[in-house]
Every structure is written in structure tokens, then in C-alpha cells.
Structure 1
Amino acid sequence: MEEKSKKRYSMKEREEFKRLILDKLEKAKKDLSMLKESFSNDQNNGTDDTYPTFKAFEEGSKTLSKEQNDQILEHLQKSINSLNSALIRVENKDYGICRITKKLIPMGRLMAVPHTTLSIEGKRIVEKDNSKF
């Protein structure tokens, strides 16, 4: 059956998506854990006796790194939340249905972005609506 005429993905297809989501979820959790661990190990890097100028540069670098790490942590946490939501949609059998157009999201898009809730058409509608403000 062609994707355009289907209303939802089959159980076999949803199982394939579920494996993909679980793989991405595992990787994201590992990345989050490693980042948190490296961030906590970075707190004391032995600069207590270095020249004050170098210490000032390092403190500035630490601040920038902390801001970057915070952004990465936030992004990873959002990704994990989105992937968990995608798993729920797989179980509820409404995975892969665009929340705007209510049409089936093409398999290629879901393989590339398994946590998406929008087809390209739906995404364009949302972006068009947002550009009005």
C-alpha cells in the first residue's frame, strides 16, 4: 500500500521505528551522562598556582564552556523528552501522523527525524503562521 493512501503505519513498521527511537534514546542518554560527568570533573583543573593573567583567561573560558555545556545539556534533555514522547506515540499507534495536516509523515522523514510530529507540509504551515507575528 502506498504511503499517501495509508492512515497509519503497520505494527511491523512501528516496531522498526521503535528500534530506531530506542537506539537514538540510548545514545542521547549516554551523551548526557558523559557531558554531566565531564562537567563535574572539570571543576578543579589545578590552576591555583598559575599566573593571574592566565587564570583570568581560563575563568572566562570556563564561563563560556559552562554556557555552551548548559545549552548542550538543555538540547540533549529536550531530545530525550521528544524521543520518549515518540515512543508513547508508537505504543498508542498514532506515531507518524502529522499533528497539523493529520496525514502520514513520509517514512524517509521519520527515519531522519524519528521524534518529529510534523510533515514538511505541516512544518511549512506552522512556520507561515509564526511569521505573521
Structure 2
Amino acid sequence: MQARPQTRYSDEQLAEFKAIIDARLAEARKQLQFYQDQLAEHTNSEEGKVRGLDDGTGTMTNEETHRLANRQQQLIQHLENALLRIQNKVYGICRVTGELISPERLRIVPHTTLSIHAKQNR
């Protein structure tokens, strides 16, 4: 008799992935707070006030910080979605192939929804 292929991760494995995601989420939120503090500080400083058209450095820095903050917000959303998939016990299932994503990939990119094979064939 052949063993059935695993169709989902065990509760123990899901707990391991949840711990990884929780740690990444805490770090991402901390980083987002840093960017938000930087933006607030720049806005409230004399340098943040309009000084003329000849100095775009402050604007470029501000735009870059906004970009980084937005990227962190997206990462946080992806990680929160991964926690929902864990809660629903569908975490780690490739949305293209329906097969389990390798645990190694999930440890590196815990919010992924694609296996390496599916990602390479996109």
C-alpha cells in the first residue's frame, strides 16, 4: 500500500511556521514604526519646511522613506495573511499547483503562496 502524499502541514509544523511569522511580523512592525518616526521628524523639523526649489535632497529622502514605509506595510499585510492561512490550516499550499511548498522555502519566505516550481514558471 502506498502512503498518501501529505496535503497539509501538521499542527506542530504550523506552530513552527507561526513562530517564524510572529518574529518577522514584530520586526516588520518595529521597522515600520522607525520609518514613520523618521517621516514625522522630517515633517516637524526646519529642514522639512519648504526651503526653495534648488534643494531636492530633503524631498528625495522623504520620498524614499515613504517608499520604504509602504513596502513594510505590504510585508506586514502579507505576514498577517499568512497567519490567517495558518489559522485556517491551508498555510504552505501552493496557490498554483495545490501542492505543499517546501518547508525550507517557507522558513526563508514565510509569507509565500507559491512553490519554487510555480514561481519559476510564471
Relative to the length of structure 2, the TM-score reads 0.87
Bigger-Rg structure (1/2): 1
Using the size of structure 1 for normalisation, the TM-score is 0.80
**Map of 1:9 onto structure 2:** 9
Gapped runs of 5+ residues in structure 2? Answer: none
- Whether the aligned pair in 1 keeps the contact of 2:8 and 2:90 (CA below 8 Å) is yes
Corresponding position: 1:86 with 2:82: yes
Q: Residues 39 and 66 of structure 2 are in contact (CA less than 8 Å); yes or no, is this contact kept in structure 1? A: no
Q: CA deviation at 1:34?
A: 1.2
- Residue type matched to 2:32 in 1? L
Identity %: 36
SS of 2:74 mapped into structure 1: helix
Q: State the secondary structure of the residue aligned to 1:43.
A: helix
CA deviation map 1:12-48 (0-9, x unaligned): 000010011011011111111111012111224445x
Compared with structure 1, are the counterparts of its residues 64 and 8 closer, same or farther at alpha carbon in structure 2 (3 Å cutoff)?
Answer: same
Distance in 2, Cα, partners of 1:26 & 1:14: 18
Runs of 4+ in 1 over 2 A off after TM superposition: 43-47
SS of equivalent to 2:81 = helix
1:56 aligns with 54
Name 2:101's counterpart in structure 1: 105
Alignment-derived partner of residue 30 in structure 1: 30
Q: Which of the two has greater helix per residue?
A: 1
Cα distance change, pair 46–66 in 1 and its aligned pair in 2 (3 A): closer
Distance 1:10 1:26 in 2: 24
Secondary structure at 2:112's aligned position in 1? coil
